[in-house]
């Protein structure tokens, strides 16, 4: 491998390690600290939190950020070995990097598509890793001096060299052990699917966490939310978009919270519609969720039939990919919600959605989901146990 190619691979892999390490740290803090706000959350569209806590933040239950860390560490290790004059991998190293980077390229193209076209957000740290993967793919491909079809035949010799050399072997073992440890102890965010309601218990909140949460909650500004509380001591208002992955996450994740407070009438939960689609929400911040209006309208129509909860579950279960089209959404409203006169009711439902969206605009809503608990706005999506702890704080205050 030419020295310039090796230096470029080392540089871009180091850049990727830095971005992936920062991503891992941010994702970890989001899952473990309810008061944490990421510095890369600049606005609703430039936002790391939405990317990490969405369904695309994990792959087969494993957070994406540590996987990126493992990939870039592998590239850095291989590029480092290629600089050893006695190493048999100095010529084959770029080929191994190129082979792994081919998979990495396909993976980050999928994630980029999900971020920019499904979530409609730009994640700064994610973008840095995308650029690094693309650069490594191009450089390693150009630095490979032989046909890739011959690589399997060269692998046994390189593996023998790796096993017989203590330093490369030690580095490889440290890489594997380190990556495995990070993934094993990384908390899971529960975004993989609906939360089963049978025997669900919220994780405990320590006294220290509760005190910290109470102190943070008192600092949040309070506004007047003109929604009737129905005599409840705690009013929770959610501004929702049925094609929003984070709305799906909270819909599933908070089910144990609503189950806990269902009896007694002390907590009232109200969903207001804020679709990121201009047809029914003129205040949508650059929305491109093209079936959100149909979904919200269908839920409104299905209330009278008592099928709205079932329809909500169906919509979020089928969030995608692929994303449901307006026609598919209407068909789901008919078959799941039991609405046979969708077109006749649509105009009336749209007016209710526009009223909800206007209220959201007055309250400063610019992304979904946005929660208000007794007039205080939640700036981020909290884990269920911390969300419940805030409700408990408000119930305690009401006493």
pLDDT band at 2 (very low <50, low <70, confident <90, very high): confident
180 pLDDT above the threshold of 70: no
Give how far Cα 75 sits from Cα of 168, 192, 203, 318, Å. Answer: 13, 29, 38, 37
The pLDDT tens digits for 160-173 are 666 666 665 566 56
Contact 21, 163 (CB under 8 A): no
C-alpha 26/C-alpha 30 separation (Å) is 6
Range name among 30-39, 115-124, 247-256, 331-340 with the lowest pLDDT average: 30-39
Range name among 160-164, 272-276, 364-368 with the lowest pLDDT average: 160-164
The whole-number pLDDT of residue 196 equals 46
Burial 119-136 (b: 16+ CB within 10 A, else e): bbbbbbbbbbbbebbbbb
Residue 301 in tokens: 């129509």
Contact 13, 76 (CB under 8 A): yes
The pLDDT tens digits for 235-271 are 999 999 998 888 888 998 899 999 899 888 899 999 9
Overall pTM surpassing 0.75 (yes/no): no
In the chain, what percentage of residues exceed pLDDT 90?
47
H helix intervals, 264-364: 292-302, 308-317, 326-335, 342-362
pLDDT band at 376 (very low <50, low <70, confident <90, very high): very high
Mean pLDDT of 188-206: 57
pLDDT band at 191 (very low <50, low <70, confident <90, very high): very low
CB half-sphere exposure, 3, CA atoms < 13 A: 1
Q: Give me the domains of the chain, ranges plus CATH numbers.
A: 3-185 (1.20.1440.130), 207-398 (3.40.30.10)
- Residues 6 or more apart whose Cβ sits within 8 Å of residue 218: none
Average pLDDT taken over every residue of the chain: 84
87 pLDDT above the threshold of 70: no
Mean pLDDT of 311-328: 86
Range name among 15-29, 30-44, 274-288, 361-375 with the lowest pLDDT average: 30-44
Range name among 123-127, 165-169, 338-342 with the lowest pLDDT average: 165-169
Contact 241, 276 (CB under 8 A): yes
């Amino acid at each position: 491998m030419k020295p310039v190619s090796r230096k470029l691979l080392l540089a871009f892999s180091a850049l990727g390690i830095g971005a992936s390490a920062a991503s891992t740290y941010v994702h970890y803090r989001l899952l473990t600290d309810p008061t944490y706000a990421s510095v890369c959350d600049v606005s609703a569209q430039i936002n790391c939190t939405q990317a990490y806590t969405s369904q695309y933040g994990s792959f087969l239950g494993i957070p994406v950020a540590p996987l990126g860390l493992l990939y870039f560490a592998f590239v850095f290790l291989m590029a480092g070995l290629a600089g050893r004059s006695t190493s048999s991998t100095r010529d084959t190293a770029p080929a191994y990097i190129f082979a792994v980077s081919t998979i990495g390229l396909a993976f980050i193209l999928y994630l980029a598509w999900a971020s920019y076209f499904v979530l409609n957000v730009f994640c700064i740290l994610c973008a840095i890793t995308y650029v690094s993967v693309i650069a490594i793919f191009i450089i390693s491909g150009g630095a490979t001096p032989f046909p890739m079809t011959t690589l399997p035949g060269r692998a046994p010799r390189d593996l023998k060299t790796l096993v017989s050399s203590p330093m490369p072997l030690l580095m490889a073992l440290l890489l594997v052990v380190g990556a495995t440890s990070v993934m094993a102890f990384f908390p899971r965010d529960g975004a993989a699917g609906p939360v089963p309601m049978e025997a669900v218990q919220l994780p405990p909140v320590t006294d220290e966490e509760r005190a910290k949460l109470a102190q943070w909650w008192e600092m949040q500004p309070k506004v007047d939310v003109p929604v009737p509380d129905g005599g409840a001591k705690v009013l929770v208002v959610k501004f929702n978009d049925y094609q929003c992955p984070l709305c799906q996450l909270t819909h599933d994740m908070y089910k144990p919270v609503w189950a806990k407070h269902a009896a007694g009438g002390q907590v009232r939960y109200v969903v207001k519609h804020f679709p990121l689609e201009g047809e029914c929400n003129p205040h949508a911040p650059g929305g491109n969720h093209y079936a959100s209006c149909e979904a919200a309208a269908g839920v409104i129509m299905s209330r009278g039939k008592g099928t709205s909860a079932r329809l909500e579950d169906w919509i979020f279960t089928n969030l995608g990919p692929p994303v449901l089209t307006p026609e598919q959404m209407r068909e789901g409203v008919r078959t799941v919600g039991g609405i046979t006169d969708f077109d006749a009711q649509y105009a009336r439902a749209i007016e209710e959605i526009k009223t909800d969206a206007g209220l959201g605009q007055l309250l400063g809503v610019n992304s979904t989901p946005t929660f208000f608990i007794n007039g205080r706005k939640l700036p981020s999506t909290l884990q269920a146990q911390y969300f419940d702890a805030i409700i408990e704080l408000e119930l305690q205050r009401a006493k």
